[in-house]
Structure 1
Amino acid sequence: MAWAFAIILLLLFAYFLATKPRGTLIATASIAGVVVIALYYFDLKAKAEASAEQRLQDGIEVLVKHSPTECSEDKPLLVTIKNNGDLIVSRVWWSLSITNYGHSSNIIRGYSGNNYSSDKILRKGEYYSVCLKNPIERPKKVVKDVATRPSLKEFIEDEEHKEIEENIFADLPSSDGIDSASHDRTINPEEFTYSIENKSISFVR
């Protein structure tokens, strides 16, 4: 249908160009000029709106640090959300990035639990803190009867932590003399760099 409409327009243009060439060219140039101006205006408007939205997002701080003293041994990661903007924050989403010191690869990439959110309403100047488990630390297993099979959740967690440990040791230089398959090295959570990524904010407008 669209191609038929285009053919009709081309035929009309050819007809008017043949019968009234000067008027047709002036009208075509005017229409083209209006279209270019309109496209430029809407492009500038879209960029301005995107820039304004980015400034709103940047006005919300989401910070993370390993702090078992401020939190607990079971949940040692302290995440703090602070509203430095003018709008009220209704929800915040984020994920964690944990890297070996001096490296840039996120060693918990692919970890299914790396999606967090908070529905704490924050007005300008307010902040909120929450303590989280550290994905690189294996959860303490409860001793069960040997005949009891691990649950599906426990099995998935165990497999994911094996992958995380593989990522940890993959970043280490071979000169360290560490066999990545043996996992003999003790993992010290304080030796890693923690940061926030994929931050997204919802505001009350």
Structure 2
Amino acid sequence: MIYPIIPYGDPVLRKEADDIEKGSIDVKQLAEDMFETMYAASGVGLAAPQIGMSIRMFVVDGRPFNEGEDLDERDKDPSVVDFKKVFINAEILEEDGDEWGFEEGCLSIPGIRADVYRPEFVKIHYYDTDWNEHTEVYEGLAARIIQHEYDHIDGILFTDHLSPVKKRMLKNKLSDISKGKVKVDYKMKFK
């Protein structure tokens, strides 16, 4: 099932999401639906608040970063090879390394991209859809995708990481998105 994406301006994107109690929802079905929704919108990550659910779950698939015929083998990021995962009740334990800039976008904020600086390593504790517990360290693009999606379950958007000047420059565009004045080729749900 493809869910509509919740746009910038909706309060659900600003709430700190709740932990999921084991057995309270079908996390496997929800993960399937979230992947289907993400692929339909050409995304590499999707957090539950972006489909209107204030729960601590997100899905990622960074493999598209290594696809494309003009991509040289040396340009491929090893961190996103086979990087398709579901994170439930995730908790970032540590962020480390040099901060590096990368142009980020967001399905909830279409048409806006900006450089965001994040640490290169992340250590995260989470559960998978079988409720197996994991603690893992990620780097590079994989770490960045996790940090971006993790922000969503904490009510933070990538635009919050921008300078005050950049935020002022984007104010009208963000306002238009919240009013539904935006063209996208995927389903969105405006109030």
User: Does TM, normalized by the shorter one, top 0.5?
Assistant: no
Q: Which has the larger radius of gyration?
A: 1
TM-score (norm 1): 0.25
TM-score by length of 2: 0.27
Structure showing the higher helix proportion among its residues: 1
